[in-house]
Amino acid sequence: DAKTTQPTSMDCAEGRAANLPCNHSTISGNEYVYWYRQIHSQGPQYIIHGLKNNETNEMASLIITEDRKSSTLILPHATLRDTAVYYCIVRSRSSNTGKLIFGQGTTLQVKP
Amino acid sequence: SAVISQKPSRDICQRGTSLTIQCQVDSQVTMMFWYRQQPGQSLTLIATANQGSEATYESGFVIDKFPISRPNLTFSTLTVSNMSPEDSSIYLCSGRAAPNEGLFFGSGTQLSVL
């Protein structure tokens, strides 16, 4: 599975959009991009995933560049409860193991 | 999405003893996984729990140290054997209902070994 690169940490003002980047320049055509987050002292929480098209759900939007080498997770109106570590993970669509390998992620601090 | 109940939520154990962690899912899942998260670190995959057969371990993890059972599609256990202080960590189980869906996680077991 392709490796991802994320900034170690980011800050965001409460109420503003949080844009979290992820680089996956070695991604192949059959690999999905998944985003998870982990709030302190809790298990990770699935946010969203996509293959090529942009995706949106009740939590966030995922924007994938046309060449698929990078993506951005957007939390449209960040709140203090969105403070967490955000993980971007790439996994093969055809993988029959289903496993996910976590990197170090981005620590997002939402400030009042 | 499905809910995983994991227990115990925390335990303090003596070195040389073993602890078994249980995960119960409220619906059938195709795949279950066990992760470890050491203090201040990201998650490390220990193994894939295969229903009705031996687990598939990642590099650096062995069955004698971390035996895993998965008797059916809703339940799995991880045992941490012959514990040492280096095993102090959070252990998390996770599941996936369908191949390309997201993983969901239990709330974790915080283990401290004295």
Instruction: Tell me the shortest Cα–Cα distance from B96 to chain A, in angstroms.
Output: 8
CA angle B98, B104, B105 (to 5 degrees): 140
Q: Is the pLDDT of residue A96 over 70?
A: no
Q: Look at the block and give the residue holding tokens 């998650």.
A: B43
List chain B residues with CB under 8 Å of A100: 33, 45, 103
Give the least confident one: A77-86, A100-109, B8-17. A100-109
Q: What is the mean pLDDT of residues A25-38?
A: 91
Nearest CA in chain A to B40: A104
**Between B22 and A41, whose confidence is greater?**
B22
Cβ–Cβ gap B48/A105 under 8 Å: no
List chain A residues with CB under 8 Å of B107: 42-43
Confidence of residue A35 (pLDDT cuts 50, 70, 90): very high
Cβ–Cβ gap B108/A34 under 8 Å: no
Chain B interface includes A99 (CB < 8 A): yes
Q: Is the pLDDT of residue A2 over 90?
A: no
Cβ-contact A103, B104 below 8 angstroms: no
Cβ–Cβ gap B105/A44 under 8 Å: yes
Residue B85 burial (10 A CB sphere; 0-12, 13-18, 19+): exposed
Count CB-CB contacts under 10 A for residue A35.
25
Residues 6+ positions from A67 with CB-CB distance below 8 Å:
none
Quote the pLDDT of residue B31: 87
Cβ–Cβ gap A46/B92 under 8 Å: no
Quote the pLDDT of residue A56: 97
Cβ–Cβ gap B100/A93 under 8 Å: yes
Cβ–Cβ gap B102/A36 under 8 Å: yes
List chain B residues with CB under 8 Å of A87: 42
**Between B101 and A43, whose confidence is greater?**
A43
Instruction: Tell me the shortest Cα–Cα distance from B16 to chain A, in angstroms.
Output: 27
Cβ–Cβ gap A101/B45 under 8 Å: yes
DSSP 8-state code for residue A50: E
- pLDDT tens digits, one per residue of B39-65: 889 999 999 998 888 999 999 999 999
